[in-house]
Structure 1
C-alpha cells in the first residue's frame, strides 16, 4: 500500500474524523430538539420505522465489497469499477424490492401507515451505495480531511432543509427531505474528493475474489443492524408508534457521543489496522491503546448522560417528552457499557477476521432481540430498556473474549485494563446523580431554569470528579500518552 501509516497519520486522521462528527453533533444537538418540538412522537416514529428498512438494505449492500477494497494492496482500476457496478445493480434491486413490498414490510414492522414513505425512501439505497467505492478510496488513502469536509456540508444542508420545512408545516416530509439532501450532497462530494469516475468495466472474477471476506462482513453487518434496529421494531410492534417515537428521539440524542467518537475512530482504525499487514504485535499494541483511550473518552459521556437524564430531557426536548427521561438514561447506560467494544469491529476487519465478526454479531443480535422483546412484553418500554442494558453487559464479556483470543491477549488482564475507565465513569455518574437529587430543590426556580442549572452543575461536578478518578486509576495510560506526544514532537523537530 502506498500510504505510510504512523502515529502522526492516524492521529491526524482521527482528528479530522472526530472534528466532522463533532460538527455534526452540534447540528443534531440543535436540530433534533427543534424537530422534536415541531413534530409529534407519531411522526418521528413513522419516519424512524420506514428508515429502518432502508438503512438495513443499504448497510448490507455497502458492507462487504466496498470494505474489501480497503484491504487490497493496490488500487486496481478494473476491480474498482467492477465493484461499483455490482453495488449499483444490487442497490437498484433492493430499491425495487422495497417499492414492491412496501406494505408487507410496513405491516411486519407494526406501522402499516408508513408504507407510502417506504416507497419514497427506497431511492435512498442507490444514492448511498453509489458512493461506497469513492469512500473506500478515501479510507485507503487516509484522506479523512476531505471526507470530514463533505460530511459536514451534507449534514448541514440536510439539517437546514429539515428545519425550514418543519417550520413551514410539512410534517414528516421535513425528515424525509433531510435524508435525501444529505445523501445527494455527500455522493457528489465523494466523487469530487476522489476524482473517481465510473467506467463500464466489469470483471466477475475480480469481484468473486473479494467475496469470501465480503460475505463475512455482510453477515456481521446484517446482525449488527438487527442489534441496533430491533429495539425500535420491537417497541413499534408491541408498544405502538408513540413509544417508538419516544425511543427514537431518545436514541438519536443518546447516540450523539457515539457518533462523534465511535464513528470517527472506526472509520480511521479500520484502514490503519489493515495497513499493519502481518505485524500482529504492532496491531495488538494499537488495539489495547486505542481501546483504553476510546473508553476513557466515551464512557464518562454516556454514564454522565444517565446522571443528568431527567433535567436534560426536559431542557432539550420540552415538557411533552419529559416522561421519557428514564428511556434516555437507560439508553445512555446501554451504550456506555459497550464503550470498550468501540475498537473491536475495526480491529477484526483490519485483521481480515470477518469470520469472528460474523459469529459474534450473530450472538449479540439474538441476545438483544430476545431480551428486549421479553422486556417489552412483560413490562413496557422502561423494562425493555433495562433488559437492553443486561444484553449489552453480556455482550461486552463475550465480545472481549473473542477479540482477546484472536489477538493472543490474556482475557482477564485485557478485560481489566480496557474496562477500568468504565468503573471510574460509573462511580462519577452515581455521585453526580446523588448530588443532584439533594441540590435540585435549592437551585433557581422555574422548571426550565431549574433543569438548566441541574445540567450545568452535573457537568461541572462530573468533570472534576472524573478527572480526579482518572488521575488516580489511569496514571499508566496518561504517562504513555504523554510519551507518545513527546516522541511525535521530537520527530517533527
Structure 2
C-alpha cells in the first residue's frame, strides 16, 4: 500500500530549497554589509511583528486546509476575516511602536516597527489563495511564488544595503517579499473572493484555527524568548548572533524537514478516518525525515566555527555558539512538529494548544530564570526543556494517535546513531585541521567526508531505509506497510 506524494513532495522540496537558498544568500550578504548591531535592531522589530502576525491570522488558513469540503462562500468569509484582522493588527502595531522602542531603550526601533506594520496589510491578501493551493496539494505553484518572492526581496535588500540605507534595506526586503507573495498568489489561483461574509462559517474557522494560531504563537514565543530577552539584557549585537545561528538552523530545517512537514497535515487529513493508514504514514514520515534531518543538523554542530567564518565573516563568532546549541534540539524538533501536524489533521486543535502552552510556559520560565547567566544559558536551557518533554510527547503520541513509542524510536534510531558518529569524527578532524587549513578548505574536505561516514554507518544498521527512498523515487508513492508490527502497534 502507498500514498502518491512524489509530485507534492518534489515541489514542496523545490519551494523550500529554492526559497531558502536565495533567502540565505541574501541574509549572509546583508549580514556582512550591515553588521551585527544593525541586523539585531531589525531582528528585534521583526520578532515582535512575527509573533503578532501569527495571532492576526487566527489559524483561519489552517482551518481551510483541514476541512473535508469547502464552498465559495466559506472561502470568501475566510478571506475577508483575515483582511479585517490584518487591518486591526496593523493599527495596533502602529500604536505600540513607541512603547516597544521604550521597552528596549532604542528610540531608533520605533520607525522600523511602524514600517513593518504594513506586513499585516500585505500578508492577508494572499493567505487564503495559498490555503486553496495547499488544499489541492498544488505545491508547484507555491514553489514558484516562494522562490520569486525571495529573489525579488533579496535583490531589493542587497541593492538598498549597497546604497547605504542601513536597517531600511532589511525592512525593504521584507515588504517587497510580502507584496510579491500576495500578487503571485492571485495570479496562481485566479480566485476572486465574493463580497460575502458568513458569521457561522467564521466562528467555525475560529473555533478550530484559533487554537492552532495560539499554539503556533506559543511555539514561536518559546523559540524567540531568548532573543527577545537578549535585546533587553545584552543589546542588538547578541540578538544578531542568535538570529544568525538560528537562521542557519532554520535553513537546515526548511531544506531537510519542512517539505515533509508541509505535506504531513494534508496527507494525514486525507486518511484521518483510517487509523492504520494514518499511523503508517506517520511512521514513514518520521523515518524518511530523520534520514535527511539528523545528519545535516549534527554536521552543522560539528562544523559551526568554519561555517560562521565563511558565511558571515569577522565579527560574527558568537553565532557559532548559538548554532551549536540550537542544532542539538534536532530530535525533539522532529518529533514535536510531526506530532502537532498529526493532531491538527485529526482535528485535535485543543490538544495542540494545550501542548504548545505547556511547552512555552516551561520554556519561558526556564529562560527567564537563567537569564543572569548569559544568552548561551538561555538557549541551552530551552534545548534541555525540549528533551525533558520528549517522553511525554511520545506517550501522548501513543495514547492519542495509537502509534507505538518503540515503533517510532526504531524508525529513527539508525539515522540518529549514524549522525552522532559522523559528528564526532568530523568534529575531531576539524579540530586537528584548524591550525593548518583555512575554514573554507576544511568545509570542502569535511562536508563530503561527513556524508560518506553517515551513509556508511547507516547502511551497517538499516539497508531497507535506502531501499525505501529508492522505491519512493521510482514508484512516486510513499511506501507504507500498515501491518500491526509497524503502524498500528499497541507496543508502548
Q: TM-score, normalised by structure 2?
A: 0.92
Report the equivalent of 2:401: 407
- In structure 1, the partner of 2:440 is 452
Which runs of 5 or more structure 1 residues have no equivalent in the other structure?
A: 444-449
Gap runs ≥5 in structure 2 = 480-492
Matches within 5 A, 1:53-452: 53-108=48-103, 111-335=106-330, 337-378=332-373, 380-443=374-437, 450-452=438-440
The Cα shift of 1:265 comes to 2.3
Structure 1 equivalent of residue 458 of structure 2: 470
Deviation at 1:416, TM superposition (A): 4.1
The worse-fitting range, judged by mean Cα deviation, of 144-153 and 338-347 is 338-347
Deviations 1:61-99 (A, max 9, x none): 225221111122323011111111111111111110110
> Would the aligned equivalents of 2:306 and 2:442 in 1 still touch at CA under 8 Å?
yes
Q: Deviations over 1:276-300 (max 9, x none)?
A: 2401111100001001111110111
Contact 1:158 1:179 in 2 (8 A): yes
Structure 1 residues 336 and 34, CA, compared in 2 at 3 Å: closer, same or farther?
farther
Q: Deviations over 1:203-244 (max 9, x none)?
A: 101212233212221221121121222121121122221111
Distance in 2, Cα, partners of 1:483 & 1:311: 36
Give me the TM-score of the superposition, normalised by structure 1: 0.92
**1:340–1:419 Cα contact (<8 Å) kept:** no
Aligned counterpart, 1:41 = 36
Q: CA deviation at 1:477?
A: 2.9
- Bigger Cα displacement from structure 2, 414-423 vs 149-158: 414-423
Stretch of structure 1 that moved more, 36-45 or 262-271: 262-271
| Cα distance in 2, alignment partners of residues 204 and 323 from structure 1 | 51
Deviations 1:366-407 (A, max 9, x none): 2322233333312x1222232232122224333233223221
Q: Residues 49 and 109 of structure 1 are in contact (CA less than 8 Å); yes or no, is this contact kept in structure 2?
A: no
Q: Is the 8 A contact 2:294 2:415 kept in 1?
A: yes
Aligned-residue offset at 1:419 = 4.7
The superposition leaves residues 342-361 of structure 1 with CA deviations (integer Å, 9 ceiling, x where unpaired) of 42232221111112211111
DSSP 3-state at the match of 2:316: helix
Distance 2:260 2:475 in 1: 22
Contact preservation (8 Å) 1:224, 1:365: yes
* 1:220 match: secondary structure: helix
Distance in 1 between residues matched to 2:284 and 2:104, nearest whole Å: 41
CA deviation string 1:386-442 (max 9, x = no partner): 223212222433323322322112224433433542232122111210122123333
Instruction: Tell me the secondary structure at the aligned position of residue 228 of structure 2.
Output: helix
Instruction: Specify which structure has the higher proportion of helix.
Output: 1
Please tell me whether residue 461 in structure 1 is matched to residue 449 in structure 2. yes
What CA distance in whole angstroms lies between the structure 1 residues aligned with 2:446 and 2:335? 24
Preserved CA contact (<8 Å) 2:422 2:453: yes
CA RMSD of aligned residues (A): 2.1
Q: Distance in 2 between matches of 1:105 and 1:124?
A: 17
Q: Secondary structure at the match of 1:222?
A: helix
Matched residue pairs, number?
478
Offset at 1:261?
3.1
SS state at 2:81 partner: helix
Task: Using the TM superposition, give the Cα deviation of residue 151 of structure 1 relative to its aligned residue in structure 2, in angstroms.
Answer: 0.5
Residue 341 of structure 1 deviates from its aligned partner by 3.3
Work out the CA distance in 2 between the residues paired with 1:229 and 1:267. 22
Deviation string, structure 1 residues 171-214 (Cα, Å, up to 9, x no partner): 00100000011100110111111111122101101212233212
* CA deviation string 1:24-63 (max 9, x = no partner): 2221342222111111211111111111121112112225
CA contact 2:90–2:120 (8 Å) conserved in 1: yes
